[in-house]
């Protein structure tokens, strides 16, 4: 039995994998470095996640929009790509075709909200 304590990225991977509708995922920093994933080869999804995340940020800034926290790229095969922003990270999720996109997005946003630092109340 492995008695070592799970790292933050391992705990993140375990929790995100448990969300209904998540087929595969990758968490990357803004510079494209892979933090955690559940793929044999995360490079393609990591690159797409990073590029789409950076472009969404740039477009929002150029148009004066607030930060984009979720971007859904719909695919014909219904294995949609959902992109989420968390501070200086981007999360790319390939959705299972038999799952509900809106529920997946809401469940992921709810999970990510638990990771954001809370502002202390006075």
Q: Quote the domain boundaries for residue 64.
A: 8-113
Domains: count for the chain? 1
Q: Which residues contact 20 (CB under 8 A, 6 or more apart)?
A: 99, 103, 104, 107
In a domain, 118, yes or no: no
Q: Is the Cβ–Cβ distance between 43 and 56 less than 8 Å?
A: no
In a domain, 3, yes or no: no
Taking only the tens place, the pLDDT of each residue in 32-72 is 999 999 999 999 999 999 999 999 989 888 988 877 788 99
Single pTM value for the model: 0.87
In a domain, 73, yes or no: yes
In a domain, 121, yes or no: no
* Residue written as token pair 């391992």: 10
In a domain, 1, yes or no: no
In a domain, 120, yes or no: no
The CATH code of the domain that includes 48 is 3.30.450.30
Taking only the tens place, the pLDDT of each residue in 80-111 is 999 999 889 999 999 999 999 999 999 999 99
């Amino acid at each position: 039995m492995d008695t070592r304590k799970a790292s933050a990225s391992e705990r993140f991977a375990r929790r995100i994998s448990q969300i209904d509708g998540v087929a595969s995922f990758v968490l990357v920093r803004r510079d494209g470095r892979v933090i955690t994933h559940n793929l044999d080869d995360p490079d393609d999804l990591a690159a797409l996640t990073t590029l789409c995340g950076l472009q969404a940020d740039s477009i929002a800034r150029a148009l004066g929009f607030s930060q984009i926290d979720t971007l859904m790229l719909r695919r014909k095969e219904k294995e949609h790509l959902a992109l989420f922003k968390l501070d200086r990270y981007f999360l790319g999720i390939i959705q299972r075709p038999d799952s509900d996109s809106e529920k997946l997005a809401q469940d992921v946003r709810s999970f990510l909200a638990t990771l954001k630092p809370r502002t202390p109340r006075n």
